[in-house]
Amino acid sequence: MANYDLVPIQEEVGLETEVEMKSYGGEKKHERKPSTEAAGKKHERNPSTGAAGKSGRAPPSAAAVSRVQTNEWESGIFSCLVKNDEFYSSDVEVCVLGCYAPCVLHGSNVERLGSKPGAATFTTNCLPYTALCLLGNCFFGWNCFSPCFAYPNHTAIRHRFNLEGNGEATAKSIGCLENIRMHETQREHCEAACDLATHISCHPCALCQEARELHRRLPHPGFTAKPVIVMLPPGEQSMGR
């Protein structure tokens, strides 16, 4: 029976230690065993995959679910003659136009929202609205096309003055706003759909709400006040002796 003499040779080959066994007869046997350094790296935590080392999606950031603070509208959608302020007479006019001449009210809203003369004229918005209104009433018996043409104005007012949408207002009224967590893009798509639904279901009321909001926040672009300088003649002068 041959006797073997163990001669350890420490050679670092990657993450393993090779132990060479030599015999007196010239025979060689090689045995590989994992080093303690490699064994420790197997249990090392991966910082990008979590505590257990398992791959998974990172939790959503706070910016993805955070809710931007918005302002309330000056009046509700059904608050035609509620506020008794300096705009009350204007609110009466808005209510009458919304019921009997919505094309005029829509053109005035878009022109006022443009804030620049010629940027969005009354004619270029009133005439297409009138054509769509006549087309819907002739073929379907109700004004079904004009709300789809006018609802982007509601969205533009929300964006300009950072106002809450109808979906957010409804969720706040029933007390479930804090439980709704969604991305800002998804929330905006939902509010745009709510704007369209509001115009389809209550189109005259939606036009009146937009007009009341614009009257209280923006002056009409055609009414540009300019300072007037008044020259007063000098008073009577007397020469003293």
Q: Give tens-digit pLDDT for 148-157.
A: 999 999 999 9
**Whether pTM exceeds 0.75:** no
* Radius of gyration, CA atoms only, the chain: 38
Predicted pLDDT at 87: 83
Beta strands per DSSP E along 85-138: none
**pLDDT per position as a tens digit, 14-45:** 444 444 444 444 444 444 544 445 444 444 44
- What does the buried/exposed string (b/e) look like for 43-62 if buried means 16 or more CB atoms within 10 Å of the residue's CB? eeeeeeeeeeeeeeeeeeee
Q: What integer is the mean pLDDT of 35-57?
A: 47
Residue with tokens 């010629």: 118
Please give the average per-residue pLDDT across 204-210, as a whole number: 95
Running DSSP on this structure, what letter comes out for residue 232?
A: P
Taking only the tens place, the pLDDT of each residue in 106-134 is 999 998 888 555 556 888 899 999 999 99
- Non-local CB neighbours of 236 within 8 Å, separated by 6+ positions: none
Query: Chain-wide mean pLDDT for the chain?
Result: 75
The one-letter code for the residue type at 151 is Y
Q: For position 147, what pLDDT does the model report?
A: 95
Instruction: Note the pLDDT tens digit of each residue in 140-182.
Output: 999 999 999 999 999 999 999 999 998 888 888 887 766 677 7
pLDDT of residue 3: 52
Q: Are 103 and 129 in contact (CB under 8 A)?
A: yes
13 pLDDT band (50/70/90 cuts)?
very low
Report in angstroms the alpha-carbon separations of 81 from 36, 88, 94, 222: 83, 7, 10, 25
DSSP 3-state of 28: strand
